Structure 1
Amino acid sequence: MYLNKTYIAVGSNIGDWKINFNQALKHLSKYGIITKLSSTYVSYPYGFKNQKNFFNSVIEFQTNETPYNLLQKIELIEKIMMKNKTIKNGPRRIDLDIIFYNKLNLSEKKLKIPHSQAHLRDFVLMPLIEINPHFIHPVKKRSLINLYKDLDKKYVFKVIKRQIGSLANY
């Protein structure tokens, strides 16, 4: 039995995003169980504009890892998959971010939970709303739907619906 429920954002814009997502999720499943997987949301680049569009999903992930151990596992997965993070918000084969960890509020230099920018990004909020529409942001004390409605700028322009049963691969 896993004690902690987390939400992890998955993003990619280098190479085949399906292969990248599958590899990352298989690696993650060594440390817990993926209980929900959103559709994939295609978005224009955020921040650094001179790059390809991003493919974004969110998973609900149950684990016994502590927040810091989970971060270490995620960083290892990104390293194995050769995440190239030379430019802030730049192109990358895989990007994994802890968005929520239970109802934890943690603000330290190395780790911020909830993710400090998640509530400002439609490509994170939309997949989160898909898999848990009633979730209340533990710091903002507002529903994800209301946070989404308040966004001025939107980046998502396409949704690729998840195939039924595809979660069984993990």
Structure 2
Amino acid sequence: MTHVLLGVGSNRQRQYHLTEGLIALHQEFATADNPLYVSRVFESAAVGFDGAPFYNLVVGFTTAASVEFIQQRCKALEIRFGHQPGVAKYSPRTLDIDILLYDQMVMEHPVQLPRAEILHNAFVLWPLAELVPNFIHPLEQRTLQSLWDEYESTQQLEPIEFSFPQLPYLQQGRML
């Protein structure tokens, strides 16, 4: 089984889209033996464009599914919730789901792994460090917690209270 970590975010109807996105991810990937783990939700300013603030979190699970399958399912969920393919990278999002890590895999296509924004965006690194603090970054060869401890940024980021959906295989807190 492979450990998969996804970045999930929204800046349009944020509570609704994160809740519905979590329900959909739960239906796709969670089982009694392999629950869906979630970090806290963080509010952050839009990065790369002038827009409404985002809600972001990290979701983790274990699976036997391939990277290609997970990518296809995540993009299908984005479209289902109103994300239009081909829009500018830095633009408003109803639901954005990105594969951040797939165990220690390093690749460029069909997705970049590990995702470069792990090292550049607090809204990715902080929740990752919360969920899997001892996970070793495949390229940096350091724990996510140590990367977060040394992270320097002026990005505005705050944990928020969030009402997670009541799902049988949804766990808040550390995955590993």
TM-score bucket (shorter structure): 0.7 to 0.9
Q: Percent identity?
A: 25
1:80-119 alignment, distance < 5 Å? 80-84=80-84, 86-108=87-109, 110-119=110-119
Q: Among residues 18, 36, 41, which one is paired with 1:21 in the alignment?
A: 18
Q: Which amino acid aligns with 2:5?
A: Y
Report if the CA contact (8 A) 1:129-1:145 is conserved. yes
Q: Aligned-pair distance for 1:167? A: 5.5
1:14-163 alignment, distance < 5 Å? 14-15=12-13, 17-33=14-30, 34-48=35-49, 50-84=50-84, 86-108=87-109, 110-161=110-161
The RMSD of aligned alpha carbons is: 2.1
Q: Which amino acid aligns with 1:54?
A: F
Q: 2:9 aligned with 1:8, yes or no?
A: no
Consecutive unaligned residues in structure 1, runs of 5 or more = none
Report if the CA contact (8 A) 1:38-1:162 is conserved. no
Distance 1:166 1:54, change over 3 A: same
Q: Aligned-pair distance for 1:92? A: 0.4
TM-score (norm 1): 0.86
TM-score (norm 2): 0.84
| Superposed structure 1 runs of 4+ greater than 4 Å apart | 161-167
Q: Aligned-pair distance for 1:161? A: 4.4
Consecutive unaligned residues in structure 2, runs of 5 or more = 171-176
Which residue does 2:173 correspond to in 1?
A: none
